[in-house]
Amino acid sequence: MRRHLVQLFEKDGDIKTSAVRNGVEALRALDEFDPDVITLDINMPEMDGLTCLSRIMVQRPKPVVMVSSLTEQGAEATFEALQLGAVDFVHKPDGTMSRDILRIERELLLKVRSAATTTVRRSRGLANRMVERRSSRPTRVEPALPPLPRDKLGIVLVGVSTGGPGTLEEILPLLPAGFPWPVVIAQHMPASFTGVFARRLATLCQVPVTEVTRQTVLEGSNVYIARGDADIVFTKTVLGMMALPAPASANHLWHPSVTRMVESAMNALPPDRLIGVLLTGMGDDGAKAMTTLRTRGGRTIAQDEATSVVFGMPGELVRLRGADAVLPSSAISNHLTSWLAPVAAMRTTAEARHGSR
């Protein structure tokens, strides 16, 4: 019989593991073995993964990577786990009872090593689920840039990976209902998860949120989630700017590819009609493309290290000097809104201040 995956990791040189059969045994093992990372199967006998996770986050918070099936039910449970405090997830390739866990070995090891660099707060609900890096650098904010004319077509391009669902749930609900430009998001995620994620975000946001499953006309005051296991590209038509899913490119490691999304947008619109936002995630997907975007006249934001689950993607954008602003997640929506503030309103405010002197 396959043992359920509940592994505990130490970082003394080589990775050491201890596997147990269910959540009850995992909680008991925590009293004897102090792990740096736990991988936790959502489906387990006696005590399921979500119950075990909630107990871990209250009793002895640890970085946890969830292992889930590719079903819609598995996606819902995974997002609940991320809300409870899990750092990341990997999916089993063949469903709940998959015996072929070795097929995801590389991804699992990458995410476990990444999780080992994070610390977690004791779970106290939705507002406190954010994972923080053990070391952080001061937030750097560039001088404020003038607002962009909101009466011209533009797109906000968001790239995100590890830690993305929780981070997006903090940022997107703060966008006002009248936010003028469409927001397109490439979140590294399997196809069976992105639709569930879009519906989840739609219940939290003031603007509509949809998954891009076919050619779609982009409209302002809307958020679009790129379909998982594919890429998203753009084209101009007589109907307007279109976004459409494309087969995952073999030239890019992660999908939906942030790099391909940004490059396609620059081919479809002038760079000064684009804003790039690079959020938490492993690796460097999108960093070079957004640096090019800024060089050509676009604007960019990198999430800061203190609020990133993993500072890889935004950190690379900062290293390349490709960020106009480096901001905590809580400030990003307001910054975007200030860049797209109505020019007339800005003038009226300035004139009122001048007249009161």
Active-site residue, selected from the candidate residues 68, 161, 264, 308: 161
DSSP 102-128: GGGHHHHHHHHHHHTTEE-PPP-SGGG
Planar angle of CA 244, 233, 216, nearest 5 degrees: 25
Active-site residue, selected from the candidate residues 36, 88, 284, 285: 285
Active-site residue, selected from the candidate residues 91, 188, 255, 335: 188
- 210 SS3 class: strand
| φ and ψ at residue 316, rounded to 5 degrees | -70, -35
Active site residue 161: yes
Q: Which residue do the tokens 């995620």 mark?
A: 189
DSSP 143-192: PPPPPPPTTS--EEEEEE-TTHHHHHHHHGGGS-TT--S-EEEEE---HH
Active site residue 188: yes
Q: Which amino acid, residue 245?
A: P
Active site residue 36: no
Alpha-carbon torsion, ordered 169, 272, 260, 230, to 10 deg: 50
Q: Looking at the annotation, which residues are catalytic?
A: 161, 188, 285
